[in-house]
Amino acid sequence: MSTKRTAFFVSDGTGITSETLGHSMLSQFRGIEFEHVTLPYVVSNETTHSVVEKINQAGQRDGTTPIVFSTLVNDEHREILARCKALVLDMFAAFLGPLEQELGVRSSHTVGQSHAIKDHEAYRIRIDAVHFALDNDDGARTRHYHQADVILIGVSRSGKTPTSLYLALQFGLYAANYPLTEEDFDDLRLPECLIPHKEKLFGLTINPERLIAIRNERMAGSRYASAR
């Protein structure tokens, strides 16, 4: 029998770390339906008290104990959060203490250090890659394809742009993307501008029902959103 629980990801930054760790743990419990709530930028006593109130309200609404994954660094904020009526998994408390003991040094407890730029050259490469992805989005500048590491092809709204930006930001890849049209499928051949770069092409597919739903959000009732 499926059970529903609310899981909170609380952070003094973007929440990416708490979400990543929390999702990894929750994925091990397939019989439970989790409602995920991310609460980022908790940087004051006031916002922390507000978070506690939201967590307690969720517990009362669901009739079950919420699960809280926290990466708060500030000791006072962590103490406030610990008073909520939930299972609080404090990531920093779990790992910083043993690390401090082993290293013989107290941690700085500085907010935002986990996302600080460590390698400025790698950062520059990723930003340049993002600019390339934006400049070469949706077949805008096919003359630059010789600079691309990958060229994503697929129908409109199949996820080409977000995938290009993800590859750029996470891996520093120069990713361009090109939209395939009805004419391309009628001809059953690649557009001329893509033929010299066949070794760089990667096709994206999407479930037809999902594609129709996405297109209807953009242009409801149009031929563009039609299944035919």
Give pLDDT tens digits for 176-203.
Answer: 999 998 887 777 889 999 999 999 999 9
Q: Tell me how far apart the alpha carbons of residues 4 and 31 are, in angstroms, rounded to a whole number.
A: 9
CA distances from 211 to 40, 125, 160, 180, 216 (A): 31, 33, 13, 14, 9
Q: What is the pLDDT of residues 40-74, one digit of tens each?
A: 999 999 999 999 999 999 999 999 999 999 999 88
Degrees, nearest 5: CA angle 182-183-184: 90
Look at residues 9, 16, 15 and name the one whose alpha carbon lies nearest to residue 36: 9
Q: Which H or E run contains 177?
A: strand 175-180
Residues 175 and 151: their CA atoms lie apart, in Å, by: 6
Mean pLDDT of 108-125: 59
In this prediction, residue 157 carries a pLDDT of 84
Selection from 136, 141, 124 nearest residue 160 by Cα:
136
Place of tokens 């003094």: 12
Separation of first and last alpha carbons in the chain: 40
Give residue 77's pLDDT: 94
Q: How far is CA 225 from CA 8, 56, 163, in A?
A: 36, 43, 22
Q: State which fold the 3-115 domain adopts.
A: Rossmann fold (3.40.50)
Least-confidence region, from 89-98, 107-116, 150-159, 205-214: 107-116
pTM listed for this prediction: 0.52
Q: Looking at 11-167, which runs of residues are DSSP E strands?
A: 32-39, 67-70, 87-90, 150-155
Q: What are the residue ranges spanned by the domains of the chain? A: 3-115, 120-225
